[in-house]
Chain A
Amino acid sequence: MKILVCITNVPDTTAKISFIDGDTKFNKTGVQYICGPYDDYALSRAVELKEQHGGTVTVLNVGEAESEQVIRKCLAIGADDAIRVNTEPTDSYFVAEQIAHIASQENYDLILMGRESIDFNSGVVHGLVGEMLGIPSLSPVMKLEIDGGVAKMTREIEGGKEDVEASLPLVLGCQEPIAEWKIPNMRGIMSARTKPLKVVEPVGSGLTITEKYALPAPKGAVKMIPAEEAEKLIDLLKNEAKVL
């Protein structure tokens, strides 16, 4: 089985967010980057499937050289090789185009992604890639078994779960508990530096130019209204918050 796992290089969830150059650029200084947590699950499941069924796992990132530390960590976790499309990932469509282009050059049985990135959180790249390649895509997948060319999956839906079966190839957006979260072991870490990491140039160009970033307004103070004073609450909602 050939699996392609698409990963993002994103600021750690505890990073302090600020902007520079007149709010047109994200301030990267002092920011620790990690592999997107959902992408991490996708990769972990890919490695588990490889252990069960044999095959290869290739990691793909659309990003600049600074992503390589995170890419090497994916290699340490158990991917066999990696591809980096050398460009700033400026929008979802552009990213999806790159992924589809790479994927179309090989016959991948599975293209696994996270359900969403944690920097821009659009949750659309898997759908776009599925469309571009003309194969089904599904998200968010929380359980995935492969049985003779058929994927048996459980997907989260509004208010419940859905069991789905589909034949390969597929594009999936993954989330926990699809796999056990993996910590790279010493052997993996030491072999990562010998695994191939191919850098390729992008096709096409991004459609989006960022004009300005802004932080969300800080949360205001909270007023606590005792349950027995519900009228007061209604009054505040009407006259102060003006939402009723």
Chain B
Amino acid sequence: MVLTDSKSSIKGGEFLIKDIDASQIFIPEEFNEEQQMIAQTCVDFLRTEVHPKLDAIDYAKDTSLMVELLDKAGELGLLGTAIPEEYGGFGMNFNTSMLVTEACGGGHSFSVALSAHTGIGTLPILYYGTEEQKAKYLPKLATGEWKAAYCLTEPDSGSDANSGKTKAVLSEDGKHYIINGQKMWITNGGFADLFIVFAKIDNDKSLTAFIVEKSFGGITMNEEERKMGIKGSSTRQVFFNDCKVPVENQLYTREGGFKIAVNILNIGRIKLAAAVVGASKGVISTAVNYANERKQFGTSISSFGAIKHKIGDMIAKVFASESACYRAGQNIDDAIDTLLASGMESGQAKLKGVEQFAIECAMLKVHGSEVLDYVVDEGVQIYGGMGFSAEAPMDRAYRDSRINRIFEGTNEINRLLSVGTIVKRAMKGELNLMPAAMAVGKEILSIPDFGVVEEDGLFIPEKKAIKNMKKAILMIAGASLQKFMMKFEEEQEIIMNLADMLIETYVAESALLRVEKLIILRGEEACALEKDAALVYLHSAIDKLNSAGKVAITSFAEGDELRVMLMGLKRFTKIEPINLKDARRRLADAAIQKNGYIFI
């Protein structure tokens, strides 16, 4: 049975106003044998080369071990998955590179070094380089002969990335740009051979990007930063002192650098989401294994309901986050294919494809990183005192997780971005939100339909619940936009609430659609646990949406409007209760039996 529709024509952000059919989404169970073999290679590499050396990596005196590991990953071809074959890579599609990222996600500091090299270090050249630049640099980056770093952040320019002070001035003979300035928090800084550097030419308002080889000279560094986590990843301040960069090493257009930064970050965000899914699965397995082994009161602690609750919840969250990742990943692949078919150049098509789903990329980054933080926190708790011991694995997991909410755009910035982009697209007429919001506005003033559902099919009430979640968002977004108009941007608290509501809706819907598709493929009996995971997720998503919605409404509405909207919210967050304790227990029991994470 071919279930994935030819090419779904869904646009980024459109999930909010469109019903999506299960056949339109890709689910990770559909990866083919070759893709699974690639993922297994990553897992085997981590298991044999990285995991036995985590301490050595974190407490290394120099970067030689990390360099050696990256070289080995390069020999296996893991650094070139996204690079086209003509530049020495393997030209894998977007979702396969997501799978590789997930499979490599549980490698702590190594994973960070790997992503920085293959992502922000390599992709600017791949997507914005000239033919000469690509031919010169990509083959070296694909094999790992050269390692890359990305220099955007400065001491006074973090979230406000375009405010950097690093300067580039044309030399008298017109052959070089002379770069001066200071960059901060540069991952892989200690060993990189190549830096993507953002600087302003003369008195430009906006950034320009440059490809800077270490060998150009004029580059110095501070010592390694002392960090809370990912201690083994090299993080340096990098100083450019009259660094002479040949003019042909300007990347893309003058003042085109900010655009590069934004677009590369879109990719970085969704990839980070995949990486943290991989990391979360590993932590769950470690925690379950411990819970099975640790005995108190004469029995394994995994037999206690309080522990089962944690295990069940962790599994449901990761399952849902993963569903959303690969759903969006496939949407991106489809968008890229459509653009390619229309004759667009390949690099451009990939960028545009991802850009269309910038909203999803930002949402997934926030969700994934917060799920991992939840998972490591409960992981420590399951380990009890040993969770607090630096000798046991949860200590590292807990510390290493935290950075994910900060880099690739902080989670606040990404929340602002997801809502901001939706609003912007609606204003431009690219996203037809207004009619939908007005319809909801009318609906809350009418008599509620008491929801006698007569359709038949899978998950009818749950799908209705998802539809209602979307209505709640439209109701609050519509009303608050109307109220604040041009000043909406200043209402960050409401935007944060709306972002949470969006994220919960998108992720819960993704999990549900995944299970629906699986049931169509395998039958309901074979998917009972997946169904439990999706329902556990959905019910808690509705609760979260409800509380975020309440906070948002009370932040701006008064009197009648307040009352009507609160009633509307109540109406839109209604769902027939189910026994979630039992569902979590079933998930936990399966994990306890398997001694690890239960799904693929």
- Which residues of A are in contact with B by a Cβ distance under 8 Å? 14, 16, 69, 72-73, 76, 181, 183-187, 189-190, 192-193
Which residue of B41, B48, B593, B595 is within 8 Å of A186 (Cβ)? B41
- CB-CB < 8 A to A185: which residues of B? 41, 75-77
Q: Is B33 a contact of A69 with CB atoms below 8 Å?
A: yes
Q: Does B44 lie at the interface of the complex (its beta carbon under 8 Å from any beta carbon of A)?
A: yes
- CB-CB < 8 A to B48: which residues of A? 181, 183
- CB-CB < 8 A to A14: which residues of B? 595
Q: Is A187 a contact of B77 with CB atoms below 8 Å?
A: yes
- CB-CB < 8 A to B593: which residues of A? 16
Which residue of B33, B76, B90, B594 is within 8 Å of A183 (Cβ)? B76
5 A–B contacts, CB within 8 A, in A order = A69-B33, A181-B48, A186-B80, A190-B34, A192-B34
Q: Is B33 a contact of A72 with CB atoms below 8 Å?
A: yes
Distance in Å from the Cβ of B93 to the closest Cβ of chain A? 13
Q: Does B37 lie at the interface of the complex (its beta carbon under 8 Å from any beta carbon of A)?
A: yes
Q: Does B330 lie at the interface of the complex (its beta carbon under 8 Å from any beta carbon of A)?
A: no
A184 and B38 CA atoms in complex are apart in Å by: 8
With contacts A186-B77, A189-B34 known, what are 9 further pairs, Cβ within 8 A?
A: A16-B594, A69-B33, A73-B37, A183-B44, A184-B41, A186-B38, A186-B90, A189-B37, A192-B34
Q: Does B45 lie at the interface of the complex (its beta carbon under 8 Å from any beta carbon of A)?
A: yes
Distance in Å from the Cβ of B237 to the closest Cβ of chain A? 35
| B38, closest chain A residue (CB) | A189
Distance in Å from the Cβ of B45 to the closest Cβ of chain A? 6
Q: Does B78 lie at the interface of the complex (its beta carbon under 8 Å from any beta carbon of A)?
A: yes
- CB-CB < 8 A to B480: which residues of A? none
List which B32-52 residues lie within 8 A (CB) of chain A: 33-34, 37-38, 41, 44-45, 48
- CB-CB < 8 A to A193: which residues of B? 34
Question: Which of A16, A73, A184, A186 gathers most chain B CB within 10 Å?
Answer: A186
Closest 8 CB pairs of A and B: A186-B77, A185-B76, A183-B44, A185-B77, A186-B90, A189-B37, A183-B41, A184-B41
Distance in Å from the Cβ of A78 to the closest Cβ of chain B? 13
A192 and B37 CA atoms in complex are apart in Å by: 11
Q: How big is the B interface, by class?
A: 10 to 19
Q: Is B45 a contact of A184 with CB atoms below 8 Å?
A: no
Q: Is A190 a contact of B44 with CB atoms below 8 Å?
A: no
Distance in Å from the Cβ of B111 to the closest Cβ of chain A? 17
Q: Does B266 lie at the interface of the complex (its beta carbon under 8 Å from any beta carbon of A)?
A: no
Q: Does B510 lie at the interface of the complex (its beta carbon under 8 Å from any beta carbon of A)?
A: no
A209 and B519 CA atoms in complex are apart in Å by: 37
A185 and B41 CA atoms in complex are apart in Å by: 7
Q: Is A184 a contact of B75 with CB atoms below 8 Å?
A: no
Q: Does B115 lie at the interface of the complex (its beta carbon under 8 Å from any beta carbon of A)?
A: no
Which residue of A183, A189, A190 is within 8 Å of B45 (Cβ)? A183
Q: Is B34 a contact of A184 with CB atoms below 8 Å?
A: no
- CB-CB < 8 A to B45: which residues of A? 183
A186 and B118 CA atoms in complex are apart in Å by: 15
- CB-CB < 8 A to B41: which residues of A? 183-186, 189
| A76, closest chain B residue (CB) | B37
Distance in Å from the Cβ of B249 to the closest Cβ of chain A? 29
Q: Is B33 a contact of A186 with CB atoms below 8 Å?
A: no
Number of inter-chain CB pairs below 8 Å: 39
- CB-CB < 8 A to A184: which residues of B? 37, 41
- CB-CB < 8 A to A192: which residues of B? 34, 37
- CB-CB < 8 A to A76: which residues of B? 37
Distance in Å from the Cβ of B36 to the closest Cβ of chain A? 9
A74 and B427 CA atoms in complex are apart in Å by: 56
- CB-CB < 8 A to A73: which residues of B? 37
Q: Is B34 a contact of A186 with CB atoms below 8 Å?
A: no
- CB-CB < 8 A to A186: which residues of B? 38, 41, 76-78, 80-81, 90
Distance in Å from the Cβ of B293 to the closest Cβ of chain A? 15
Distance in Å from the Cβ of A53 to the closest Cβ of chain B? 22
A184 and B75 CA atoms in complex are apart in Å by: 10
Distance in Å from the Cβ of B134 to the closest Cβ of chain A? 19
- CB-CB < 8 A to A189: which residues of B? 34, 37-38, 41
List which B554-600 residues lie within 8 A (CB) of chain A: 593-595
- CB-CB < 8 A to A69: which residues of B? 33
| B80, closest chain A residue (CB) | A186
A183 and B45 CA atoms in complex are apart in Å by: 7
- CB-CB < 8 A to B78: which residues of A? 186
A120 and B375 CA atoms in complex are apart in Å by: 39
A14 and B292 CA atoms in complex are apart in Å by: 15
Contact with A along B57-99 (1 / 0, CB 8 A): 0000000000000000001111011000000001000000000
| A30, closest chain B residue (CB) | B594
| A73, closest chain B residue (CB) | B37
- CB-CB < 8 A to B81: which residues of A? 186
A16 and B590 CA atoms in complex are apart in Å by: 12
Q: Is B37 a contact of A72 with CB atoms below 8 Å?
A: yes
Distance in Å from the Cβ of A176 to the closest Cβ of chain B? 13
- CB-CB < 8 A to A72: which residues of B? 33, 37
- CB-CB < 8 A to B33: which residues of A? 69, 72
Distance in Å from the Cβ of A55 to the closest Cβ of chain B? 23
A134 and B532 CA atoms in complex are apart in Å by: 59
A73 and B593 CA atoms in complex are apart in Å by: 28
- CB-CB < 8 A to A187: which residues of B? 77, 90
Q: Is A190 a contact of B76 with CB atoms below 8 Å?
A: no
Distance in Å from the Cβ of A21 to the closest Cβ of chain B? 19
| B81, closest chain A residue (CB) | A186
Question: Which of A14, A76, A183 gathers most chain B CB within 10 Å?
Answer: A183
A184 and B90 CA atoms in complex are apart in Å by: 14
- CB-CB < 8 A to B595: which residues of A? 14
Distance in Å from the Cβ of A237 to the closest Cβ of chain B? 27
- CB-CB < 8 A to B38: which residues of A? 186, 189
Distance in Å from the Cβ of B246 to the closest Cβ of chain A? 32
Contact with A along B443-455 (1 / 0, CB 8 A): 0000000000000
Distance in Å from the Cβ of B172 to the closest Cβ of chain A? 47
A213 and B275 CA atoms in complex are apart in Å by: 42
- CB-CB < 8 A to A16: which residues of B? 593-594
| B45, closest chain A residue (CB) | A183
| B100, closest chain A residue (CB) | A186
Distance in Å from the Cβ of A36 to the closest Cβ of chain B? 16
| B90, closest chain A residue (CB) | A186
A183 and B78 CA atoms in complex are apart in Å by: 12
A181 and B80 CA atoms in complex are apart in Å by: 23
Distance in Å from the Cβ of A209 to the closest Cβ of chain B? 31
Distance in Å from the Cβ of B139 to the closest Cβ of chain A? 14
A185 and B42 CA atoms in complex are apart in Å by: 9
Distance in Å from the Cβ of A25 to the closest Cβ of chain B? 19
A60 and B398 CA atoms in complex are apart in Å by: 46
A193 and B33 CA atoms in complex are apart in Å by: 10
